[in-house]
Amino acid sequence: MLGVARPRGGCVSVTIEASDLPAAPPVEASAALAAAVARQEIRRGLAAPASPATATRQILTAQDPRDAGARAAWWALSGGAPSAPPERWATALGLPPSADPPRPAAPGEAGSRLFEAELGRALAAGAQPALERRTLIERGQGEVWVLLASPCGVAEEGVYDAGATALAALAAVQTRRRELDVTIEPWITADAVGVIAHAPFRDDRETPAELGRRVASAAARTVAATTLGPEALTLARAAALEHLERLSGGRAAALEAFASAVAPDHPSWIEPFGVWDRVASGALETVQLRWQALATGPLRLAVLANADASQAAAAGEAAERWLAPRLAPRGCASPDGAVVPRPGHHDARLPAGTPLSQAVVGARLPAAREAAGATRDLAELTVAALNGEGGLLAAALGAAAPPAADAAPARRQLAARASARVLGGTRAAALAVEIRAPSAELDEATARVKELLAGLAQRATDADLDRAEALVARRERDALAEPRRRLIHLWSGRAPRTPPAKATLTAWRAFLASALGADAIVTVEARPD
């Protein structure tokens, strides 16, 4: 790169060289994209406020005092002309000689014409926003928070690459774990995958705009990364497998069988980290292509600024620099056909030596998108009613109250524990109860949980609903005290509910009856080999 200052104006020259010609797209298209990016960067540099440090550095680095004096005089005379003509750009493409004989050019497809057309296309794309932006100003917040993610999530994953997107996000973050003194972490859900970046002021000299640009640049550089190393993939695979095992025991076998039964063709729609075998064998090329596909699709940026709107704008512009121009952005895939669950009983095997057997009992939630929010809220209420001390699961697995004289004998207390959670996202979701018990008690524990779920629509009371709503409200209140959750709500377009909307017992029971019917229940039992 070369810059020349003149008494009236100046010029900038950039030379871009490639070691290899691209294999897939025409070289004119790749060269035009590189030229458009260079032109954008030159314009940004020219539009930035003049820095006296630039001239000072040029003067002080002169070894000969005569050169220093000449440079000082030259910089004193140079400057922008008040009536300067508009910018003039010249772009030339040079190609190495080809060993192939020349072919006649098709009409309008001569090399210079094709390059000119591709350059115009790239420049037009660069003028369009590359990101959907959402901002929230919280003055006095200790850090600036940025979430850059694809709303496609794991939509494109099937049976054979379940978990590839999560692996890609983990590997990309491993590659740039501490970028520009910014903390970067993956954000992986069924509906969205990307990165969260945050950092405080570096020192008292850093301006709010500089902080916003630093944090957003780190996030965008992570998403725009085109190369993931084998070491990063190894660390990412270890983290993903550890997450799956921590979530659902040895090799996550029970969870895999449950996800495959609820969403047979898309198990990662239920568990976005995928299934054990696919994660353990994920190839670097597959993971890298998945991350590149995510970066070329729709992207949304949420900025939790701690100063003002100009800081948020600076963050958005910094992220755009790494992601524009976007010549042909991809949309989110819309897989054909409905997801048809396979209810009933399924078996799985745990690794030898696993101390406890497992079971997962649950059902897919109604998939109507127009009611997805209400369905999710009612499912979360159900989870709160089932879990915890004094919850319905504890009562089902524990000893029953002393019966009346003419009642059946009380059931014994089982050495089993169970917990419920909601899995998946808007494409497919499920309410699942995981049970861990000694092998001799697994059948009885599973039967009790199935009995509880089947009769919940009739047995749920106002007391159960009040307890569940109090737990959900407290959890939501505690979560919103943390900026990460507020950032995720901003990105998702979800307004915090204070207090949460009150559900009626009639609506809750109707949901339970539709979601947990006997013909919809999926049961997975997993025992050690």
The DSSP secondary structure of 390-437, one letter per residue, reads TSHHHHHHSPPPPPPTTSPPPPPPPS-EEEEEEEE-SSSEEEEEEEEE
Q: Give the residue among 314, 360, 342 at the shortest CA–CA distance from 527.
A: 360
Looking only at the bridges linking them, the beta strands covering 344-350 and 522-528 are: parallel
The count of other CB atoms within 10 Å of the CB of residue 200 is 16
Q: What is the Cβ-side half-sphere exposure of residue 361, based on CA atoms within 13 angstroms? A: 24
> With 70 as the cut, is the pLDDT of residue 134 above it?
yes
Q: Which residue has the higher pLDDT, 368 or 488?
A: 488
Provide the angle, in degrees to the nearest 10, between the axes of the packed helices 230-248 and 253-262.
Answer: 90
Integer-rounded Cα radius of gyration of the chain = 30
Distance in angstroms (rounded) separating the CA atoms of residues 137 and 369: 31
Kindly compute the dihedral angle of the four CA atoms of residues 264, 266, 269, 270, in this order, to the nearest 10 degrees: 30
pLDDT category at 98 given cuts 50, 70, 90 is low
Average pLDDT over residues 516-528: 92
pLDDT of residue 192: 96
CA separation, residue 105 to residues 24, 102, 114 (Å): 20, 9, 10
- Looking up tokens 């496609």, which residue turns up? 152
CA atoms within 13 A on the CB side of 356: 16
Report d(CA 435, CA 454) in Å as an integer.
16
More confident residue, 435 or 353: 435
Band of pLDDT at residue 370, cut at 50, 70 and 90: very low
Strand order across the beta sheet in which 300-305 lies: 132-137, 300-305, 144-150, 193-199, 182-188, 178-179
Q: For the chain, what percentages of helix, strand and coil (3-state, to nearest 5) are there? A: 45, 15, 40
**Which pLDDT value is given to residue 48?**
67
Q: DSSP labels for 132-147?
A: EEEEEE-TT-SSEEEE
pLDDT at 404 over 60: no
Mean pLDDT of all residues in 155-178: 91
Q: In whole angstroms, give the CA distance from residue 233 to residue 168.
A: 8
CB 223 within 8 A of CB 165: no
Find tokens 């808007």 and name the residue: 426
Q: What is the pTM of this model?
A: 0.84
Which residue type does 130 have? Answer: A
Residue 102 pLDDT grade (very low, low, confident, very high; cuts 50, 70, 90): low
* Lowest mean pLDDT across 324-328, 389-393, 417-421, 506-510: 324-328
Of 280, 238, 244, give the one whose Cα is nearest residue 259.
244
- Spatial neighbors of 97 by CB under 8 A, at least 6 apart, are none
Which DSSP symbol is given to 446?
H
Domains detected in the chain: 1-72+116-127 (no CATH), 132-323 (3.30.830.10), 344-403+410-528 (3.30.830.10)
Task: Give the residue, 127 or 71, on which the prediction is more confident.
Answer: 71
Q: Which comes out higher in pLDDT, residue 321 or 226?
A: 321
> Residue 87: pLDDT above 60?
yes
d(Cα 21, Cα 30) in Å, to the nearest integer? 9
pLDDT, average across residues 433-449: 95
Helix (H) or strand (E) holding 463: helix 462-480
Q: How many other C-beta atoms are found inside a 10 Å radius of the C-beta of residue 107?
A: 7
